Each structure stands twice: as structure tokens, then as C-alpha cells.
Amino acid sequence: MKIEPPAFEVAALSKAFVAGSVRVEALRGVSLSAERGQLIAIMGPSGSGKSTLLHLIGGLDAPTSGQVRIGETDLGALDDDRRALFRRRQVGFIFQDFNLLDVLSAAENTALPLLIDGLSEAEAHRRALAALELVDLAHRGDHLPGQLSGGEQQRVAIARALVTKPLLLLADEPTGNLDSTSGDQVLTLLRNLVDHQRQTVVMVTHDARQAALADRLIRLRDGVVVEDQVLPRCRPFREVLNDLDIVT
Amino acid sequence: MSWKYPTLWKYTTREVQRRPGRTVLTLLGIVIGVAGVVATGVMLQALRHAYRDLFETATGRASLEVVAEGYAGFDASIATSLADVPGIRAALPIIQSPATIITPAGSHPVLVLGVDPDRDGFARDYILRAGHTLDEQDGLLLEAGFAASRRCSLGGHVRLWTPSGLAYLPVVGLLEPRSAASFNGGSVAFMRLARAQRLFDLRDRINAVHLVLREGVDSNRLTSDLHGLLPVGLTVQPPSSRGSVGQDVLFLTQQGLGSLSVVSLVAGAFVILNAFLMNLGERRRQLAILRALGATRGQITRLLLREAISLGIVGTVVGIGVGALLAAVALHIAAVTMGLSARDVGWRIEPFLTAMLVGPGICVAATFLPARRAGRTEPLTDLMPRRHGQEPGLSRRLGFAGLAFSTAPLVLVLSSYVGWITPPISPFLLGTVTLLALVGSGFLIPLLLPYLLRFVGRLFRPSFGTIGRLAVRQLDRHPSRTALTVGVLTIAIVFVLFFGTTLLNRLQDIRNWYTRFAYGDFYIRSSFPDLTTLVTGAVLPEAVGAELKAFDGVARVDRIDGVITHVGGQSILMMGMTLSNARTMPFDIRAGEPQFAAQRLAQGDVILGTGLARRLRLGVGDSIEFNTPHGPQSRRIAALIQDYGAGGMILIMDDDEVRRLFNVKGVLCYVLTARAGKEPMLAERLRVFCRERGLIVDSKQETHTWFVRKIEGMVALCWVLLVLVFVVASLGITNSLTMNLLEQTREIAVLRAIGMKRGQVRALLLCQALTIGVVSLMPGLILGIGWSYLMHLPQNPTLGSIVHFQLNPWFLAGCCVAAFVVPILAALYPAQRAARLQVIQALRYE
């Protein structure tokens, strides 16, 4: 039987940068690996390196040292264009402030990675609508971001992240700019993707309640992993939310 | 990428539509650049070809002509012997001479072609609109349009001033404006050869043989073959050679236009670059999103370049239209100045083709590096919240490149002085050096900016207080943008100072020249000469001189004649003047002894234009050899003069000698000197005399006024172009200040939140504009004046002497005022926008 490689694996990962005249060590020798089909929460105080870790895993940034492997791909071996190709096909990003192009409609924003990848307009549009259907926004496909609520915009961003059927979904504080109702909808959506589609999701969050919904919790402090815990999850997600009294 | 994927293309077009102001500014940059290229290109091409085409029209299918030096007469039997030369299909004996036609509408210069009607069909087509051909009836053939405009009717009579007197000739036929009849807007009259020989006092002689070659014959080879066969004094040349002196005269204009073309392009490119950088600044996050989603560097670069090219295409189309309009006005002015028909100053396709490449080309040139840089920016850099701190300035290397570029004029001047570059300096070279000098000026700014800002900061502190300090600091915080803005204004100041000072000095020199040259009290001629070569100068019979001498009150009658001849292969204007007893020489003598010049002229020596002397490397005391119908002649040079006639390619000799050597018939102009106190009475009598005969009489003052009127159109055009340079600069500055405003949005909101009033915000922005003005003015003045001085030196080899360099204080003051006013005007809109910012919204601005 073939052993499935981990969704991602990082080894001795370090990242340093210079801010003004000060050298900042954002990550210091972090090693991790994650199975597929998990929701992994990364927590830590500001400046602990969580976003940096997410960016390195997503190929948005290059480490100072160490290795990042996604599936069978070693990101360190890729040049910039191949890294772009990798991001386009293997990774879906969800940002705190949505990062939709405000001159394009929801469907056009969702179709963007496919169009960049060279898919025909018609096919990209068809898949974009399917992705929007997943987030329950197919009926809002023609709306511009400015005509959507924050929660809807983030769901469009999730649809855009999903449209290429990526190996990894990376979410950087996806509910940070949302009210609690919208935030819960987004969390439910992410959890469902893991539960029903075996999607691997890595989510950076400040919120312990949201982290409690993950399968695994990684805590960072000063650029090192201080806690790596598999969370027990026996009950359906909805019930957990009910217990936590965050679903009304 | 984006053509293939319409959504991405939609993204681009929507971005463009979303910022109509910026799009219009970018388009204006392209439009100005392209319009400049089209207008100056059309002018350059038209001027380059005007005289060549003119004479090629007159000779029709004849591709060579045999002429004597000075277009003097020679034996008509030459045509018969040339007809037997292999390769020649027809050798047509011709009289081709300028004359003045007097019609009910007044007098007008025409080219008279005396032809053999039986054989002339080999070279020219005569398509009759009405009347008869010369085969059927003796008289004149006129072009129908010309005849109508001059109120000449078929069967009516016109008078023609020729060397033998005033001829009274019937108009026997009216021609369609085709073939030779279209010469200079129809200013041509055809008559039988025999009649022309009588009128032009040439009896059995002719003054040209037009050669129609057999198909496939190499005209260059035939030319060299014929040189061996022709008697001494005759030469074979392409018809366009008659215009070569005209082309020399236009050289300075071409140099100026070449420089202007380059400047309009540079200015346009700066505006585009500025607008594009502004655009990128605002879209950096969106581009980062595309990169995060997997767009490659190349895809981003191509997306941006395609956007730039699309704008370039739209701007080019509009620019071509604007350029064509400008060119039409400029061509009209040029045609009037040059004494050509506007119809003949033709439009050519080349400038339009160039513009089609240049428009999108300058867009790509201006945007390539920023687009590439945007593509190469790491997505995270622009996805992260912006750090609002000190930005890095433009590379100091750019400043050093500016220093290197700035040495270009120095190298040119030195090369010109040591003789590495022989005059005339081509418009292309001058344009390139101007370009380097201007770009160099712009690039020097990053080196100078910190010091200049510090200085202005100190200067403003007492008057503008906190607002002044904030304004300077804000500019200091964005050194790249500030350097770019200051660069645009500095380039504008440098160019306007350079071009304006050169123009003013040259104009003053030309005015001095003409004032000095207008030495007589009255000038009598049959038509006004064109300003360039006198090639269309019609002559008067010598008998008129005798009549004028008999007038009471005339102290002296002098003659001026002009023939075109050659010195060492160079076409020159040989001017004959009767100055042997002149009180003062009417020239600006730059070398030689003025007190003996007249005497030596009478002894057979010659006076040379400095331009010609410089080109031939001759000086006072040297001998010059020139061609005549009797073979080469050599004369000693008595003096060198600064002269604008024939672009400085002028040689002056005693008129009797010129008439003897070149068999000159008729007189170009009579110059009358009145006895003291007799001027008013003489003026009255001369007017009556000339009115009766269809002649032109002008007093010294009237001649001067005529000259000023002739050149004022071109001068006005130059000033309009200078104003346009400031308009372009103001576009660039508006762009930059708007960008500055966008970058300061949060800070302005903070200032508003802590109590700054709208008026103070407005003052802050205006103070920034004023700072830009002051900072630009300092290097602009120094570099502009310095380069004006340096660049006037290498232009002089064309004229061969130094044009007196002086700075006009009014012009300098105007430039200083413009340097302050332009940025302040450009800042009005951004300042208004800043004052209206919604505080809460602006605080959230990233």
C-alpha cells in the first residue's frame, strides 16, 4: 500500500529580516508536518511568527534557512515562476482583508486563478460558479465586492481559494475583519471543507475559541513552536459551537 | 496574457476607466509627445523636400539637366549634340528663368519656362483646360487655378518683367494643375523658346538642357560620362540641385525642429512615466494579490505593458490628429516665410509612420522598467500593511549618469572647436545632444535634491512656519517622486531657457544683420525675394536703372545681383553689389579691415560669409576658387562677414565683375540713395513711377517691416512651442502632486483630526508646489544658462562665427515667474482635493 505523503512538512525553518537597523528572527528552526484532511490552527501573540510560517508554507516568501515541502514538492528547489505556478495550482490563500479585486465581480474574482492558469473563459466561469455554489454565493456572482458584505466577500475569497482544488488552504485570520455571525459562517465553511472534502486547512488565529474547532493546535512564541497539540474531536462541529455558545 | 483571457483584460480596462483623470493625463503625455513628433516631422520632411520637389516638378520626366554656372546662357547647339549621347532619349533646350508677372491682381513672381512645343512633350504634359497649346498659338500658358486667382482670363493679356523690359503677352491657354504646371502652386508660365530667348536677352542661347533618359539608364553613370563631354563652364546635375542653397538655409530651422521633436518626446515620456508610477503605486496591492494567486512575474509585466501599449495606441491616434493640425498651421507659416506655395510644401507619410511607432514605443520605454519592477516585487511586500516612513531615494547612480550625460554638450563644443565634427552639425546630432543634456539635467536632481530641500526648508522657515516645514518634510520623505517632479520642471526650465535664449540671441543677430544690410534709402524690384535664396528673384531690365538715375533727388543708384554658383562642390549664393564708393560697408565684418574692404572689393577681391569660410576653412588673405561659365576663377578674400543670406553660404563681389563673369542679364534690385533732404519728394515720385510699371518700391523702414513680418510667424510658432513645454511640465507636476496627496492621505486626515483647517491643508499642498518650483528653479537656471551658452557655440560653425550671447532679463524673469506659477497652478486641483478629504475615510486609507 502506498503511503500518502504529508500535506506539508517544514524542517528547521528559519526566517530573519531586517526592520530598520534591527535584525528580527521571525522563525527559528521550526519543524512540523501535517497530515491531509486536517484543520490546523496556528496561534501565538503578535510577532510570534505565525503569519510568516503561513507565508513560507504558501510559497509567498522564501526562508532564510530550512526546508518547506508541500506534498512531494520542495519549495526551496523552485524558482520564482515555478513558485508562482505552485501557488496557482496547489495553494489557496484566504486573507484577513479578503484581497478581492474591486473592479471585478464575485464570479470574475473567483475565476481569476483559473484564468491566470490559461483556462478558457467559459470553463473558468463554470468552475467559479461551482465554487461560489460551495460557499452559497452563486446567486451573487455578478456583484462587485463593494456590493457584498464583509462575510460574503470572505466567502468569495474562499471560493477563489478553492476553485483550483488546491492541496492546501491557508487562511490568515480569516475572521479578523468580520462580525461574529459572519465569522462563524466562515469557520463553519472551513470546517465543512475539512470534514466533507478532506481539504487541508491551515488557519492563523488569535482566537482560542476558533482554535478549539481545529484538529490540531500549534502555538508559536518568538519564532519557535512551544506547543503542538492534537485536539480531541468526537462531536460534530455544530455541537461544539453550540456548547461554546457562539451559534445562535 | 490579457488578450487571451478577457477577464484580466476587463480588469485592466476597468482600472483605466476607474481613474479617468489619470488616464487623461497619461493620454495627454502621449498626445503631446506624438503630436510633437508629427508636427516637427512633417515640417522637417516638408522643408527637406520642398526645394527638391519644387524643381523636379518643373523638369517633369527629365531626370538631369545641363546648366552653366550661375544659370547663365550657353550655346543652344549643345542640346542637339547631347541628343546623340547613348542613354538620352531627349535633350530639350530650355530657358528657365524667374520673372515677375503683372496681372489685374498685382505682381507675382513666376518661373518662366521657354520650351520647344514640338519636343517638350518628352518631359512635360500639357493638359489643357481651355484655349490652345503653344503649337497652335504664340503667347503664354498659365495654370488655370493660378490664372483665376490672379484674375487673368483666357485671351486676356498680362505684363511680364524680363531683362529686356516689360513684355505684353496674351494668355493663350489654361492648364490643369498637373506635371510642370503644378510648380509652386501654379506660379509658372510657359512660352515658346524663341520668345523666351528674346525676352531674356539670350538670342540664340539657352540656359538649360533638360535630359530625358532612356529606361534603365543609370543617371549617376550618365552624369559622370557627360562631365567629360561638356565644354568648360557647363555642368550636369539633377534638377533638385537648384534647391540645394535653399536646403542650406533651412538647416538651422531643421536643427531647431529636430531638437523640439526630441524634447516633446522626452517631456511626453516623463509625463507617462510619472502617471504610470502613480498608477502602480495605487495598484501595488492588487498586483500583489494577482502574484499571490499565482500570476508569474512575466504575466504581471506583460499585463502592465499591454495596458501601457493600449493607452499608447489611443494616445497616438489622438496625437496624430493634433500633430497634423499643428503641422498644417506650421507649414502654412513656413510656406509663407519661404515664398513657396503651401500646396507644394507637401505632406509625407514618414512622420505619421514614425508617430505610430513612437506613441506606443515611448509608452513601453517609459513603463518597461517600472512594469518589470512591479512584476518582480515579492507579493508579500505589497500585501503587508504599508510602512509609512522614509522611502529610499532614486539611486545616486542615476545622478552620476546625469553628470555623464551632462558632459555631452561639452564634448560637442570641444569636438566642434578642435574640428572633430565638421559643420554643419546635423539636426540628429544636435537633437541627440539636446536629449542627453535634458535627460542629464533631470538625472542630476537625485544628487542635488537633499541639499536643495534643506536649503529651501531654511528659506521657508521664517515665512511659512509649521506648514512650510511640513511641506518640505513631506517632499523629503518621498525623494523618488520629488526628484521626478523636480526633474520634469527642471528639464522644462532648462529647455525653455536654452531654446528661448538661443532664439532671442539669434533673432537679435538676424535683425542686426538685416538692419545693417538695408543700407539704401529706397529699394526697387519687380517682386519680393523669398527669404531664403533669392532663387525666385525676378530681374528688372538695366534700362530701369538709367531711368531711376535721372530722378531728381537721387544721389546714387546701386545694384544688387545674385547668382548661384559652386565652390568645391558646395552651392553658394554669389552676390554682386556696387559698393565701391560706399561710405560704410553694410556688413557685420568679423575678420579683415572694414576701412579697406570696399576698396579691395572694387579691386576684385571678395568678401565671404563666415559660414562658408568656416566650411571651406578659409580666412582673410586666402584665395577662393569658384566656378563660372568661363571656367574656375580665383579671388583673394578681403573680409569675412556674419551673414544669414543663403544660410551663410554667401560670397560677395563687385557687381560689375559678377555681371561680366556670369553674363548676368537684368538687375535683381536697385538700391537708391537720396540726396539730403530730398527723401520725401523722391519717395512720392518713385511710388508713382513704380505703380505705373507694376514695380515694388520700399523705403528702408518698409523693407525692415516686411522682413520682420516675414519672420514673425515662425517666431510666434517657436514661442507657442515653448509655452507647450511648460504645459507638459505642469501635467507632470499635477500628476506628482496628486500622488503626493494620495500618499499623504492618512497624515492629512490626522492633521485634520487634530484641528488643521481646510485652508491650512490647501496651503500645505500649495507650499509643496512652491517648494518644487524653488527647488527646480535653482538647478534649472544654472544649467539652462550654462547650456544656452555652451550650445550656442557648436551651432555657430553653421554660420561660422559667434552669435553675440546675451541674457534677456525680461525673459529670465518670465522663466522664474513661470517656474513658480506652473507648479502652483498644477497644485490647485490636488490642493482642493486634499482640503475636501473626509477625515474618517482618509484615516482608513492605506
Domain boundaries defined on chain A: 35-64+78-243
The helix/strand/coil state of B379 is: helix
* Dihedral Cα B628, B632, B636, B639, nearest 10 deg: 40
Mean pLDDT in residue range B615-625: 88
Mean pLDDT in residue range B61-65: 87
Q: A157: part of which helix (H) or strand (E)?
A: helix A150-162
- The CA distances from residue B313 to B27, B271, B320, B331, B359, in Å, are 9, 16, 10, 26, 7
Instruction: Determine the Cα–Cα distance for residues A131 and A118; give it in Å rounded to an integer.
Output: 18
| Contacting residues of B for A108, CB less than 8 Å apart | 7, 10-11
| Contacting residues of A for B378, CB less than 8 Å apart | 60-61
Q: What is the pLDDT of residue B534?
A: 42
Enumerate helices (H) and strands (E) in chain A, giving the number of each.
8, 10
Q: Which residues contact B791 (CB under 8 A, 6 or more apart)?
A: B409, B412, B413, B433, B434, B437, B498, B502
| Contacting residues of B for A124, CB less than 8 Å apart | 7
A103/B8 touch (CB, cutoff 8 Å), yes or no = no
Residue of chain A whose alpha carbon sits nearest to that of B14: A103
For an interface test with A, give the residue of B285, B290, B293 to mutate (most A CBs within 10 A).
B293
Compare CB distances from B380 to A60, A86, A113 and report the shortest one's residue. Answer: A60
B290/A160 touch (CB, cutoff 8 Å), yes or no = no
For an interface test with A, give the residue of B4, B7, B300, B307 to mutate (most A CBs within 10 A).
B7
Residue of chain A whose alpha carbon sits nearest to that of B298: A81
Q: What are the pLDDT digits (tens) for B84-133?
A: 888 899 999 999 988 889 888 888 888 899 999 888 888 888 888 899 88
Decide if A189 contacts A158 (C-beta within 8 A).
yes
B10/A85 touch (CB, cutoff 8 Å), yes or no = no
Residue of chain B whose alpha carbon sits nearest to that of A99: B289
CB pairs under 8 A between A and B: 79
Note if the pTM is more than 0.90. Answer: no
Minimum mean pLDDT among A86-90, A234-238, B70-74: which range? A234-238
Residue of chain A whose alpha carbon sits nearest to that of B392: A20
Compare CB distances from B10 to A88, A108, A118 and report the shortest one's residue. Answer: A108
Compare CB distances from A93 to B15, B292, B297 and report the shortest one's residue. Answer: B292
A112/B290 touch (CB, cutoff 8 Å), yes or no = yes
Contact residues, chain B to chain A, C-beta under 8 Å: 1, 4-8, 10-11, 14-15, 18, 285-286, 289-299, 378-380, 383
- Is 50 exceeded by the pLDDT of residue B389? no
B380/A61 touch (CB, cutoff 8 Å), yes or no = yes
A118/B380 touch (CB, cutoff 8 Å), yes or no = no
Min Cα–Cα distance to chain B from A121, Å: 7
B4/A89 touch (CB, cutoff 8 Å), yes or no = no
Decide if B399 contacts B447 (C-beta within 8 A).
yes
Residue of chain A whose alpha carbon sits nearest to that of B16: A103
- Give the phi and the psi of residue B243 in degrees, each rounded to 5: -95, 5
Instruction: Determine the Cα–Cα distance for residues B278 and B431; give it in Å rounded to an integer.
Output: 29
B380/A55 touch (CB, cutoff 8 Å), yes or no = yes
A104/B298 touch (CB, cutoff 8 Å), yes or no = no
Q: What is the pLDDT of residue B795?
A: 56
Q: Which residues contact B816 (CB under 8 A, 6 or more apart)?
A: B777, B781
- Give the phi and the psi of residue B345 in degrees, each rounded to 5: -85, 85
Amino acid at A234: C
A118/B5 touch (CB, cutoff 8 Å), yes or no = yes
Say if A88 is an interface residue toward chain B (CB within 8 Å).
Answer: yes
- Is 90 exceeded by the pLDDT of residue B411? no
Q: What is the pLDDT of residue A159?
A: 93
Q: What is the pLDDT of residue B596?
A: 79
Say if A15 is an interface residue toward chain B (CB within 8 Å).
Answer: no
Mean pLDDT in residue range A67-91: 88
Q: What are the pLDDT digits (tens) for B276-306?
A: 777 777 788 888 888 888 888 888 888 888 8
Amino acid at B478: H
Say if A215 is an interface residue toward chain B (CB within 8 Å).
Answer: no
What cell was used for B65?
Answer: 539637366
Q: Which residues contact B554 (CB under 8 A, 6 or more apart)?
A: B548, B672, B673, B674, B675, B682
Decide if A182 contacts A154 (C-beta within 8 A).
yes
Q: What is the pLDDT of residue B435?
A: 73
Looking at this predicted complex, what is its ipTM?
0.78
Q: What is the pLDDT of residue B397?
A: 72
Min Cα–Cα distance to chain A from B390, Å: 10
Q: What is the pLDDT of residue B434?
A: 72
Q: B115: part of which helix (H) or strand (E)?
A: strand B106-115
Q: Does B310 or B192 have the greater pLDDT score?
A: B192
Q: Which residues contact B238 (CB under 8 A, 6 or more apart)?
A: B56, B63, B64, B65, B219
Q: Does B395 or B437 have the greater pLDDT score?
A: B437
Q: What is the pLDDT of residue A247?
A: 45
A103/B18 touch (CB, cutoff 8 Å), yes or no = yes
Amino acid at B491: I
Q: What is the pLDDT of residue A237?
A: 56
What cell was used for B580?
Answer: 565701391
Min Cα–Cα distance to chain A from B347, Å: 44
Pick the CATH number of A35-64+78-243 from 3.30.360.10, 3.40.50.970, 3.40.50.300, 3.40.50.2300: 3.40.50.300
Q: What are the pLDDT digits (tens) for B653-684?
A: 999 999 999 888 888 889 998 888 888 899 99
For chain A, what is the radius of gyration of the CA atoms?
18
- Is 70 exceeded by the pLDDT of residue A69? yes
